[in-house]
Every structure is written in C-alpha cells, then in structure tokens.
C-alpha cells in the first residue's frame, strides 16, 4: 500500500497533504480532493512534492465512488466535516478502499457527536476485507494512543484519566475559532458530560471549571466539556472508573460566545430571512476568519496531554503524557497554526502505520485498539514529540480536588 486520497483541503487537510508530500518513501501517490478545486490547487502549490487534485462533493456517495474508482487509493483520509463521515464510509465500502478520519460523525440537525453511527459499520467493513480507523487526529487520536500506551507500558491498572487541552496562543483577532467555526461552536455549546463509576453524567455547558497546570505553559482556567474520545476509551481502557475532558477558553472567547448564544447566532435550526431559510451558525461561519488564515501572526503554543491515576506493582501511580507545539514553528513548516498542525500530523502517522504493516485488521477500529508503540515511536519524528513524567497529587491539586 502506498497510495492515499485526502478528502478536505481546509487548514488541517492542508497539513495532511503537505506532511504526506514530505514522506514520499511511504506515500508514492498522493491525491487531494475537496468541494472547492481552488483550495486543492492552493494546497498542492505549497507541497514540496507533486500532489494530484480533484473536485468532489463528499456528500454525494456516487460522485465520491467515481473518484475512488478513478484514483484507486489504498486509503482515504477523511479531513472533511464530521457530517460527511458516513457518506465517505459508504463510498469506501462500495469502491473497496480503506478509511480513516479524525472526528466522529455528527448529524447536521443535532449538536451530538457519537460513535454509535460509525461502530455499526464494523461488520460491513469486515465483510469487504477493509479497515476503517476512527478518530486519528490529536484529541481524539493521539490522546487515545497516549491512553493505550499508558495501559500497555506504564500501569497495571488505570482508574482515572483527565484529558487536558490548552491553547495558550494569540491570533490577534477579536474573535475566531481555531478549527471549523461551525463544528467548534456546536462542540462547546452542547451539554457537558463525563463518565464516572459506570455511568455518564451530564452537566450544563461550561458549568464546571478549575485551574489545570499545563506543561510548559502553567496554570490555566479549564472547562469540563464532553469530547468524543471518552466514548471509546470507556470501552477500551480496562478498569477505568472516571474519565473527563478539560479545555481552556479565554475570557474573551467566553464573552463572545455568551453574546452569540444570547442573540441566537449559534442556533443550528433554520430561521426565515426575507422568505429564505437561513441557519444562523452557518451564516456566522461565513463572517468569522477561516482557521487557515490565522497562522501567520499566531504566537504562543498548545499543550495537550493525558493525566493518569492508577497502580503499578500494587502502588498508586500518577503520570502525564503530553505534547507542546509552538504556533510559530508550525507556520514556518507548513503555513498553519498549531491547532491545525496537531490535528493534521497524526492521521499521516496513522496512514504510515497502516501502509507499513504496524496496524491492520478488518472492520472498524478506534486507534487505542491498535498497537501504540510504533505510533509513539514515529509521531515525534513527524513533528509532535511527546514527554512522559510521573507526577504527585500536589502537582495538579485543583484538578484532582474537583468533585464530579
């Protein structure tokens, strides 16, 4: 296997294409497709080696199948919107192509993402002798693999996981989102949720917060939200009693979000405007800066990791595995900010794992079900080095003190 088709030429899709083009020993043939052909042409111009391009409407299964039969890739890396996961999976099944994405399916008319739509595809992919790899971005993705690595190599038992995600950067805009505005705002405004003692517990959006001490950044206020990797990690990390996801949002971001919600601009249902149905959040997306435009003057860094509590050799153990990524370094390499970079590099490494035979199987898999060490060995070489260190309860005193 050596041929890849990337669907989606946005900020993270651009990173995927450029990084594949830097690894021609693995990716002999690279094809990039998107709804907007010009976006593909622009990305291809930034790639260090040749990349072929096409226009495709990923919502249209027949159109996508036709492209797959023409290009004949070994793998589709889906960097389109989560709404398009299922039609792209359907196209892969019909054309006989392996599948990978970075975010799980979400219906357009409901702010709810879940693997319950994609997991049932397991038997279909297995019957076709194909592999579908779900959630191979950073979080989900690299965060899941950190958990798998901790389970396989660091702990005998993991009882608690806190996934912590900090963007300690500044893009200089009054208000902007670091990835697709529509998906970002839907994610943040839905009800929060975490898993404890065998059940899911829902909370009001952004109603629980605490200070998390992020490596190489320091203490930052972080909010408990629901994130999709929790759903699969609950199934695949044995003995887990609690898992939570925390993300930083600036006071400025929260202020703007409150106003936008209060005036109805984050609504996902259509409203009539001059006789035409308009979905407010889609209109808002057109007004906000595209994430691909934020890289040039972005300063600061991201700090993302997983904090574990468990046991090793009968003794309590606490540890963190994390990555720190500089916005400016990402821009110098691929013209992107760190949020796009941290999303785009892991699927390239995941594709390497498949092509090199480290990952394999027939059916649908979340990344923590696959061997973690070869991925961990490669991801640093591709730009996302990781650090593991043991910690004490006092190192994250406020986080561990939160009663949920």
**pLDDT digit string, tens, across residues 52-73:** 999 999 999 999 999 999 999 9
Total residues found in the chain within this entry: 404
Starting at the edge strand found earlier in the chain, the sheet holding 52-55 runs: 52-55, 29-34, 3-7, 75-78, 98-101, 131-134, 363-366
Q: Which range has the worst mean pLDDT, 85-99, 231-245, 279-293, 299-313?
A: 279-293
0.75 exceeded by pTM: yes
Whether 295 shows a pLDDT value over 70: the answer reads yes
The predicted structure's pLDDT at residue 176? 80
pLDDT tens by residue, 366-390 = 999 999 999 999 999 999 999 999 9
For the chain, what percent of residues have pLDDT higher than 70?
99
Whether 262 shows a pLDDT value over 90: the answer reads no
The predicted structure's pLDDT at residue 117? 96
The predicted structure's pLDDT at residue 110? 73
Average the pLDDT over 36-43 and give the result: 97
For the chain, what percent of residues have pLDDT higher than 90?
81
Whether 338 shows a pLDDT value over 70: the answer reads yes
Whether 181 shows a pLDDT value over 80: the answer reads no
Average the pLDDT over 315-326 and give the result: 98
Whether 179 shows a pLDDT value over 70: the answer reads no
Got the DSSP string for 150-185?
IIIII-SEEEEEEEEEEEEEE---SS--SS-HHHHH
Whether 333 shows a pLDDT value over 80: the answer reads yes
Nearest Cα neighbor of 321 from 162, 212, 196, 102 is: 162
**Across all residues in the chain, what is the average pLDDT?**
94
pLDDT tens by residue, 16-28 = 999 999 999 999 9
* Predicted confidence band of residue 106 (pLDDT cuts 50, 70, 90): confident
The predicted structure's pLDDT at residue 111? 67
Got the DSSP string for 81-108?
-GGGHHHHHHHHHHHT-EEEESS----T
* Predicted confidence band of residue 188 (pLDDT cuts 50, 70, 90): confident
Cβ-based neighbours of 38, under 8 Å, separated by 6 or more: none
* Predicted confidence band of residue 113 (pLDDT cuts 50, 70, 90): confident
* Structural domains in the chain, sorted by start: 3-134 (3.40.50.720), 142-335+385-401 (3.30.360.10)
Cβ-based neighbours of 391, under 8 Å, separated by 6 or more: 307, 318, 319, 320
Average the pLDDT over 358-364 and give the result: 98
* Predicted confidence band of residue 84 (pLDDT cuts 50, 70, 90): very high
- Considering only residues 143 and 174, tell me which one the structure prediction assigns the higher pLDDT: 143
């Amino acid at each position: 296997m050596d041929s890849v088709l990337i669907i989606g030429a946005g900020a993270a899709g651009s990173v995927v294409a450029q990084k594949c083009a830097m690894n021609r020993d693995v990716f002999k043939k690279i094809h990039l497709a998107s709804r907007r052909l010009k976006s593909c042409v622009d990305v291809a111009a930034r790639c260090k080696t040749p990349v072929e391009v096409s226009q495709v409407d990923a919502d249209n299964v027949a159109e996508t199948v036709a492209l797959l039969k023409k290009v004949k890739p070994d793998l589709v890396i889906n960097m389109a919107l989560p709404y398009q996961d299922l039609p792209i999976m359907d196209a892969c099944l019909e054309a006989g192509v392996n599948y990978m994405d970075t975010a799980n399916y979400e219906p357009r008319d409901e702010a709810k993402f879940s693997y319950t739509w994609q997991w049932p595809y397991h038997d279909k992919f297995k019957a076709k002798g194909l592999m579908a790899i779900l959630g191979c971005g950073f979080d989900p993705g690299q965060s899941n693999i950190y958990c798998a690595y901790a389970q396989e190599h660091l702990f005998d038992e993991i009882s608690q996981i806190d996934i912590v995600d900090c963007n300690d950067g500044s893009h200089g805009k009054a208000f902007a989102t670091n990835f697709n505005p529509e998906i970002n705002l839907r994610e943040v405004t839905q009800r929060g949720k975490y898993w404890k003692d065998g059940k899911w517990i829902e909370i009001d959006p952004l109603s629980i917060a605490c200070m998390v001490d992020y490596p190489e950044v320091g203490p930052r206020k972080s909010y408990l939200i629901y994130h999709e990797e929790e759903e699969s990690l609950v199934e695949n990390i044995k003995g887990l009693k609690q898992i939570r996801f925390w993300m930083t949002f600036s006071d400025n971001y929260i202020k703007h979000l409150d106003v936008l919600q209060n005036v109805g601009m984050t609504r996902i249902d259509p409203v009539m405007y001059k006789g035409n149905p308009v979905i407010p959040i889609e209109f808002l997306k057109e007004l906000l800066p595209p994430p691909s435009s934020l890289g040039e003057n972005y300063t600061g860094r991201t700090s993302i990791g997983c904090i574990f509590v468990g046991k090793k050799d009968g003794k309590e153990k606490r540890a963190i595995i994390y990555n720190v990524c500089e916005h400016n370094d990402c821009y110098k390499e691929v013209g992107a900010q760190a949020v796009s970079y941290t999303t785009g590099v892991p699927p390239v490494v995941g594709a390497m794992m498949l092509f090199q035979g480290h990952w394999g199987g027939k059916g649908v898999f979340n990344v923590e079900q696959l061997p973690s060490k070869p991925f961990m060995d490669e991801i640093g070489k591709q730009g996302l080095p990781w650090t593991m260190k043991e910690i004490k309860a006092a190192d994250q005193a406020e986080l561990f003190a939160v009663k949920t």
